[in-house]
Amino acid sequence: MIKRNFDIIIVGAGVSGLVLADEITKRTNKSVLLLEKEKNLRFEKNLCFWNIPYNILNKSADNKWKKVCVIIKGKKYSLNFSGIEYLRIKSNNLYKFFFSRLKKRKNFKIIMGANIKSFKSNNNIVEINTKNKIYTSHLLFDSRVDTELEKSKGLLQHFYGVEITFKENIINKDEVILMDIQNKKNNFNFIYILPFSKNKILVETTYFSKRTLSRFKYKQDIEMYMSRNYFGQKYKIRFCESGVIPMFKIIEKNVKNCIKIGTAGNWVKQSTGYSLQNSFIYSKQIVDCIIKEKYPKIRKNNFFNFLDNTFCKFIENNPEKAMQFFERFYKRNSLPVVVKFLTNTTNLFETLKIILSLPKISLIKSIFEIR
């Protein structure tokens, strides 16, 4: 059996694996091996993020929108602010972006079609066996999610979306609908619209609840939305995406020198389901530690984690009050503060202002319900 040694092995060439591989190979001369189970990475999701804090994908985004809005009880709240944009990159373009940077680096190697099942960690050496090779390293970063999210008892963000191409140019391509909150009893559900061009949109139905639904139910939501908002228009569906994202902390199994990253490492912000911006922030922190020859550690902000937990508990126990929550959140706060809050970068004053704008009594009750 051939044995090959690397300083660092990363499992999974998804968002967190690629951002981390890029950061390590850019800032250190450590040798990095990236192992990915798929033979080819394709377009399977749309990844969106705010243009602040700046990251290297800003310039490569497929779409940039200056206008965003939310619709609550049929009323539209426009949330525009000069300098703030909502960006979208197709997952395949994100992969291409990082592959083209990484392939120029001598300290980087990727193996596609390597489905990693297990590894051993002994005396500061991690060993991974594939069909005919053994790879060893001092550190392993692993983006495989071990938990079966659908079977967990925690709150989930689950969604299904389709890309719709209309026959006619009928779309206002300048404005994203972040949330069109649907009036559903005992269930928090909203429709998310990304307009890609004058005749192409992504329509996604999203739930914050403990149980996922059948594909039929999500499709029914979209059909109903389409018939309410685009009655009589002819369209075709060419692409669909779906996801289940934890809105709770995944318990990480601590194995020495093996560190979970991405969704598996709780890099997703619990209240939003977004992890792209965190991937940049946490990868930088990991590499800061590697450069200082310290064990990699991420500095998660406990206060924001606590607020996220409180929010998730609130939604779990009061789905019927979520509409009022979001109405206050978006109506009473300016877009720059909202964006900073969603990316954990508000200062104490801004954070307090946001908290005071929300339904306080229900939120305080939720604090006592956090286990």
Distance CA(313)–CA(369), nearest Å, equals 7
Q: How far does the chain reach from its first CA to its final CA, in angstroms? A: 48
Residue 138 within binding range of ligand FAD, rule CB under 6 A: no
Q: Which is nearer to ligand FAD, 94 or 181 (CB)?
A: 94
**Which of 6, 10, 4, 12 has its CA nearest to residue 286?**
10
Enter the tokens of residue 3.
Answer: 């044995």
Stretch of 44-52, 98-106, 183-191, 218-226 contacting ligand FAD, by CB under 6 A: 44-52
Smallest gap from Cβ 369 to ligand FAD, in A, equals: 26
Residue 194 within binding range of ligand FAD, rule CB under 6 A: no
* DSSP letter string, 35-85: EESSSS-----EEEEES-S--TTGGG-SEEESEEEEEETTEEEE---TT--
Number of residues that bind ligand FAD (CB under 6 A): 31
Smallest gap from Cβ 15 to ligand FAD, in A, equals: 4
Residue 102 within binding range of ligand FAD, rule CB under 6 A: no
Residue type, 141: F
Q: What ranges make up the beta strands (E) of 51-183?
A: 63-65, 67-72, 75-78, 86-90, 108-112, 119-122, 125-129, 133-137, 139-142, 156-166, 175-182
Instruction: Choose, by CB under 6 A, the member of 47, 87, 203, 290 that binds ligand FAD.
Output: 47
Residue 36 within binding range of ligand FAD, rule CB under 6 A: yes
Residue nearest to ligand FAD (CB): 14
Stretch of 45-53, 177-185, 215-223, 360-368 contacting ligand FAD, by CB under 6 A: 45-53
**Which of 371, 368, 341, 343 has its CA nearest to residue 357?**
341
Q: Which is nearer to ligand FAD, 11 or 179 (CB)?
A: 11
Stretch of 52-60, 123-131, 267-275, 300-308 contacting ligand FAD, by CB under 6 A: 267-275
Residues near ligand FAD (CB under 6 A): 11-17, 35-38, 45-49, 114-116, 143-144, 241, 243, 245, 262-263, 268, 273-276
